[in-house]
Structure 1
Amino acid sequence: MTQATIKPEPPQDFDSLRNVILERRGELPKRLTQVAAYALDHPDEIAFGTAASIALSAHVQPSTLVRFAQHFGFDGFSGLQLLFRARLRERTSSYEERLKTLENGAAPAESTTIFNGFVSAGHRSLDALAAAVDPAVLERAVTLLANADTIYLIAKRRSYPITSYMAYAFGKLRVKCQLVGTSAGIDDDVLAMASPRDAAFAISFSPYASESAAQARAMAARDIPVVSLTDSAFSPLVECSTEWFEVVEADHAGFRSLSASMAFAMALTVSIAEKRRRG
């Protein structure tokens, strides 16, 4: 007689669900992995959307959403969606309330509305950052990078301003680094000089820069430790990183700033310099 399959208990909140997804991501089928990545990267869309609209955005069938929910112990997709809606209710929105107060008063100029929108998005990003960074992981990353002879800074496109500013700050703090992103196009030649005594710090946000991911993988393949900053647990940087951090920037009108990412990068930079100073 075959023993009935025991249905797993569903997670009780969004953070628990996220942890379970990350624990099981290596064993998920391809389509469920696709849903998992979309759910963690776009939690607000999961909360507000319909099964049809979410499936369309995630490039899967609606039935895949049901299978995904049942895989984690829910009766159906609506039960899973309740966790995402509860997450939104629990979030504080003091800055959004300020904007609402402005809207109820005299109508501000369009430029002021845009300005307030970006300020609000920046605050939301920073609030999320404070909750997202694990102090123990941060300390391990700081120690790893502080012990490196040279820190190679890998980034492209939107991420490049972050490593550029880090290189400037490291120079002022007398920390040896190498900014990868030469106008001569010799990035691979520069990275070829790295050894296992060095380390790399890589940054890439969706849509991920394939060149940055390839460079980070090449460094890891040569036993050069990589610390990365990205915006999803399913980022291509995660699989080749010794330590990694997930920072999701809030957007205004579809535009994302670098508020939280820059704050994190500067905290990391100064922490590395301080640890090296203290020996």
Structure 2
Amino acid sequence: MTQAEIRQQPPQDFEALRAAILERRAELPKRLTQVAAFALDHPDEIAFGTAASIAALAKVQPSTLVRFAQHFGFDGFSGLQLLFRARLRDRNASYEERLKILDQDGAALAESATILNGFMAAAHRSIDAIGAAVDPDTLERAVTLLADADTIYLIAKRRAYPITSYMAYAFGKLRVKCQLVGTSAGIDDDILAMATPRDAAFAVSFAPYASESAAQAHAMAARGIPVVSLTDSAFSPLAECSREWFEVVEADHAGFRSLSASMAFAMALTVSVAEKRRRR
């Protein structure tokens, strides 16, 4: 183990590990960065998998998992994995009764109602998690940044587009000047070219990330226009170019993810920006 990998006591829980990863991500070698991104994006895989299966999914060698664990102060990969299993136990405990009720009801329901219950359970999990995921101080800074802007440019594509579309509707009702990026005429770049450093951008993208949204957010940041973003990973291309960014991971049902938590966050941000402007 190199001198750089000699650390103090390892993190004691998943949130502490996540904070350590984010703090040190700029110094991580390429392969360890690859493991870090996979670990934060797929924590359940880390909890359940073997070193061999996890390495295959993360596209690294099993020895890289050991190096990653040691980099954060663990003796080996098994010690790191215990944190992910503890996270899973804590999360599952809070949903156990709710899911038990849904399962009991599902036995007597039609297939469509069972599917509805599944999506309701996923939405509950997403909403429950968002409170811990959003730092109040970061949220306040983001609200201030957007409230100070002359015009807020809303950037999103594909699955994320409904979020900015509804924000544009709400901002219009609240008399906050904004510009929705995503025209059928294909003039998004022309619209963004009108932005100045007195403006701001709010960008949304989830894995697999829309390359156009990431490029537009990076271009805005390069021109000195502050960017706030909503995404689902600390290793998202939006996180690296944003003045403030938020990580919201939607729970899925049968492989489908709704926008329950993301929409709740977006509307809270929208109304907070309008309220801050009104108070001024």
Tell me whether the two structures share a fold, i.e. TM-score over 0.5: yes
1:91 aligns to what SS in structure 2? Answer: helix
Shift of 1:91: 1.8
Whole-angstrom distance in 2 between the partners of 1:184 and 1:175: 24
Partner of 1:64: 64
Cα RMSD over matched residues? 1.5
Whole-angstrom distance in 2 between the partners of 1:49 and 1:116: 28
Counterpart of 2:20 in structure 1: which amino acid?
Answer: V
Whole-angstrom distance in 2 between the partners of 1:231 and 1:102: 27
Do structure 1's residue 169 and structure 2's residue 170 form an aligned pair?
A: yes
Whole-angstrom distance in 2 between the partners of 1:79 and 1:67: 12
Q: How many residues align?
A: 276
Partner of 2:237: 236
Whole-angstrom distance in 1 between the partners of 2:75 and 2:268: 43
Whole-angstrom distance in 1 between the partners of 2:117 and 2:104: 14
Whole-angstrom distance in 1 between the partners of 2:119 and 2:29: 38
Whole-angstrom distance in 1 between the partners of 2:218 and 2:102: 48
Partner of 1:40: 40
C-alpha change, 1:102 and 1:193, in structure 2 (3 Å) is closer
> Which portions of structure 1, spanning 4 or more consecutive aligned residues, are displaced by more than 4 angstroms?
92-96
Matched-pair contact (CA < 8 Å) for 1:14–1:87: yes
Whole-angstrom distance in 2 between the partners of 1:68 and 1:137: 28
Give the unaligned 5+ runs of structure 2.
none
Partner of 2:87: 87
Shift of 1:92: 5.1
Shift of 1:96: 4.6
1:178 aligns to what SS in structure 2? Answer: strand
Partner of 1:273: 274
**Aligned runs of 1:178-189 on 2, under 5 Å?**
178-189=179-190
Matched-pair contact (CA < 8 Å) for 1:151–1:198: yes
Matched-pair contact (CA < 8 Å) for 2:201–2:228: yes
Counterpart of 1:195 in structure 2: which amino acid?
Answer: T
Do structure 1's residue 98 and structure 2's residue 105 form an aligned pair?
A: no
Q: Per-residue CA shift, 1:245-266, capped at 9, x if unaligned? A: 0000011111111000000000
Partner of 1:30: 30
Matched-pair contact (CA < 8 Å) for 1:150–1:177: yes
Whole-angstrom distance in 2 between the partners of 1:40 and 1:94: 21
Give the unaligned 5+ runs of structure 1.
none
Counterpart of 1:77 in structure 2: which amino acid?
Answer: F
Do structure 1's residue 19 and structure 2's residue 19 form an aligned pair?
A: yes
Shift of 1:100: 2.4
Counterpart of 1:91 in structure 2: which amino acid?
Answer: R
Whole-angstrom distance in 2 between the partners of 1:129 and 1:101: 23
C-alpha change, 1:169 and 1:82, in structure 2 (3 Å) is same
Matched-pair contact (CA < 8 Å) for 1:32–1:64: yes
Do structure 1's residue 214 and structure 2's residue 215 form an aligned pair?
A: yes
Q: Per-residue CA shift, 1:181-227, capped at 9, x if unaligned? A: 01010000000000011000000100001100100011011100000
